[in-house]
Chains A and B, each alone.
Chain A
């Protein structure tokens, strides 16, 4: 048996399962209870699990992320929802200076089995303070695990695996994906969070991406096929630790790569992926690497300007075509 559900419903189902199965699990964040979650992910959970397990937090990002860290250290399994990655900047201290360091600073005595979820990404005309992509900043930090579900199955399964992880895990949920639908088996559940996944096989060029840009990469691959270019699409899924083997494997197969990343190009996570390719698979390359990133501008409000700032199917197709028709 299977059914068609949205990415948002998949996240909600995962929360439902986690809260049902483990009394140590609770969800805390701004407006997760009465409001039903800013993006309606937690809608209905409070009715079922009560205010002790689905906890509305005041506007205190550092405070409730820090409380999540303490609760995790103390034996609970908190899921902390931060409304968007922009607001997580007010909790950077707790995430970077505490969650990521406590195991190490304590010589391995302390675990911080904390899950922090945050919405991210542009595309909804929310302008320059609600549209950031900063997952690469977090992926910079040893001690954190950083994941980005790009499919409905991963939205359903990654949270459960993250909760079982003894270390802090940050989940980035691109707002552009929430309405995505897919068919999932009735018994869909936890999925591994160590490996990248080839979402489409191809032989001429690799499109490497994660999270919110996977649908764009898949669409680009379709259009490239019409132009007789066979594109492989690799979904990284986990940004830290990065699945180097999968990156090297796809590049060794296609000998060309375009990395698609919604972060600004300077210091983007795409830069890290490209460097790894150069370090580990330089001699496999038949063409220069290309990056399709956001333009170096705070995300503008006007629709056409916002779109112009973001990676697009057209830019991916163009980049892939240029390096494939290189010789």
Chain B
């Protein structure tokens, strides 16, 4: 187990994970009430990864992720109101209600999706790194994706391009063991995903994705290395999703015992225990966080309830730019 940082930082890490957890629990309820529609993929169980990695980024770095990206957007600083309103389909949403849960965007925060084609975000992240390298040396492009992407050609093409062209990309594989109902061993001949990255001569390591400090340290190491030589780095974070793949998943492919076993490694639980033992996080502090976060969430829900629907007359907006300069 990693050495604990100071109290303020422990609080910040825990708070961020708790914020994702509570936000998504609320999203699950709102989905059942049919306030949120479409597909909804919860990140619950995997919070340590977004928290650890994104906490180490600078404002000039850019992020792309998958459809399981609410947590990433929250940690990056995208407003909770704008995320919630997006899920409601309101025009006040961060993608003006055109994207929904799977397509969160916020250019101001360098949060560039929200990509729902498995594997497709990787080549785009490579291109973003080309742009970062040419326009702002030292800035990096971070790409989050599931282990399912490793079976796609776009994964391999992107890794090769990033290594060949020496681009500052941080690849973060969130290996939760399943792609929908397909267990990793049922889809990959080589289940150690980081070895695939090494085959492209990319520095790669395995990280305990349930341990926020392990992720935080690995991210710091990776990001420093990338900024130093502008070459890619790959983190395979081993994790587990506690919830079904989406809200339509009867979970026929795994035993509840397996879920329970992994829940013992719940990143919030383990970190809280560790901090508690060291006297860095007590019940009062956690209660205060719960209170604040609860208030923030209810505010986001209220905001989204009251927000306007976009006028239907705007239907064709934002397919093309207003001609002229971008």
Contact = CB atoms under 8 A, between A and B. Distances in A.
A123 B315 CA distance: 42
Interface in B174-192: none
B325 A166 contact: yes
Contacts of A103: 318-321
B153 interface: yes
Interface stretch (B1-9, B41-49, B95-103, B242-250): B95-103
Contacts of B279: none
Interface string A63-93: 1111111111111101000000000000001
Contacts of A24: 134
B80 interface: no
A108 interface: yes
A303 to B, nearest CB: 36
Interface string B156-167: 011011001100
A12 B202 CA distance: 36
Contacts of B115: 98
A111 B160 contact: no
A76 B134 contact: yes
Interface string B108-132: 0000111101001011111111111
B321 A111 contact: yes
A161 to B, nearest CB: 11
B51 to A, nearest CB: 24
A63 B161 contact: yes
Given A65-B123, A71-B128, A73-B128, A106 B326 contact: no
Contacts of B124: 66-67, 69-70, 73, 94, 98
Interface in A103-161: 103-111, 113, 142-143, 145
A165 B323 CA distance: 7
B123 A76 contact: no
Contacts of A111: 321, 326
B94 A70 contact: no
Nearest to A164: B325
A151 B105 CA distance: 41
A115 to B, nearest CB: 13
Contacts of A102: 113
Interface in B282-326: 317-321, 323-326
A38 B165 CA distance: 21
A318 interface: no
Given A105-B114, A107-B93, A72 B105 contact: no
Contacts of A107: 93-99, 105, 318
A77 B317 CA distance: 24
Given A103-B321, A104-B98, A108-B318, A76 B135 contact: yes
A58 interface: yes
A262 interface: no
Contacts of B96: 107-108
A63 B158 contact: yes
A94 B123 CA distance: 9
A73 B105 CA distance: 12
Interface string B216-248: 000000000000000000000000000000000
B105 A70 contact: no
19 contacts: A57-B161, A58-B161, A63-B157, A69-B127, A70-B127, A75-B131, A76-B131, A78-B127, A93-B120, A98-B115, A103-B319, A104-B319, A106-B103, A106-B114, A108-B96, A110-B105, A142-B319, A145-B320, A166-B321
Interface of B: 62, 93-99, 103, 105-107, 112-115, 117, 120, 122-132, 134-135, 141, 153-154, 157-158, 160-161, 164-165, 317-321, 323-326
Interface of A: 24, 55, 57-58, 60, 62-76, 78, 93-94, 97-98, 102-111, 113, 142-143, 145, 165-167
